[in-house]
Amino acid sequence: MTALTRRDLLRGVALVGVGSAAGAAAVHAHGDDTVWQIDPELCGQCGRCATHCVHPESAVKAVHVHALCGHCDLCTAFFEPDSKLDTGAENQLCPTGAIRRRFIEDPYFSYEIDEQLCIGCAKCVKGCAMFGNGSMFLQIRHDRCNNCNACSIADACPAHAIRRVPASTPYLLKSAH
């Protein structure tokens, strides 16, 4: 048997130190992971989501909860203000033409977002919140998000609308009452 050296003692102390630090940190921990998400109630539609993601194509996209949508003919999320009501590109609010407008039945239209084209600029979200039901809003899409330890959009968000949520409830969707 070898004698206990000073290094052995210090190692024991360090082990206890590291262990208790981790333990104390883990007191409030949960087995669940956390992911980043935008609180649509706080979002101010500033447009930074489109440009501040670490990915060239932002992980933030506009989503549409159709059950909340008024299905209006004059949709302020779709048309430029004071534009003619035809679907020409110059009349559309969306810079990439990512919103598909389709006639359902008189006088209702559906508006679907093509996620491939959406850049997360929140122009439609702003339009929808201004006069509509707020059925379009931004969400972080978790199939695109890297879940960086420090979300660079969250750092840039002026409204502090992006927070960590449990991975088991990864979306903050608005719901119909």
Partner 1 sequence: MRRSLLPAVCLSWLLAGVAWGDERVPPPEFESGYRMPETTVPSPRAFALEMLDIGALFLALTLATWLVLKKRSRTGVAWLGVASLAYFGFYREGCVCPVGATQNVVLALFDSSYAVPIGVVAFFVLPLAFALFAGRSFCSGVCPLGAIQDVVLLRPVALPDWLERALRVLAYVYLGLAVYFAALGAAFVICRYDPFVGFFRLTGGYDMLVLGGCLLAIGAFVGRPYCRFLCPYGVLLDLTGRLSRWRVTVTPASCVQCRLCEESCPYGAINVPSPLRPAPERARAGRRLVVLFLLLPVIVGLFAFLFHLAGRPLSRVHPTVDLAICATAERGLSDKEASDEVQAWRRTGETLPDLVARGEVLQASFLRGGWWLGGWVGLVVALLLIGLATLPVRTDYEADRGRCLSCARCFEYCPTEHERRKALREEAP
Within 63-122, the residues that bind partner 1 by CB under 8 A are 63-74, 85, 104-105, 107-108, 110, 112
- Tell me if 55 contacts partner 1 by CB under 8 A: yes
Residue from 34, 39, 80, 91 that binds partner 1 (CB under 8 A)?
34
Q: How far apart are CA 70 and CA 1, in angstroms?
A: 81
**Which two tokens mark 78?**
């779709």
The DSSP symbol for 124 reads: H
Q: How far apart are CA 125 and CA 46, in angstroms?
A: 10
Q: How far is the CB of 160 from partner 1 (least distance, A)?
A: 7
- Tell me if 177 contacts partner 1 by CB under 8 A: yes
Q: Which stretch binds partner 1 (CB under 8 A): 51-59, 90-98, 116-124?
A: 51-59
- Tell me if 18 contacts partner 1 by CB under 8 A: yes
Strands (E), 86-174: 99-105, 108-113, 136-140, 162-166
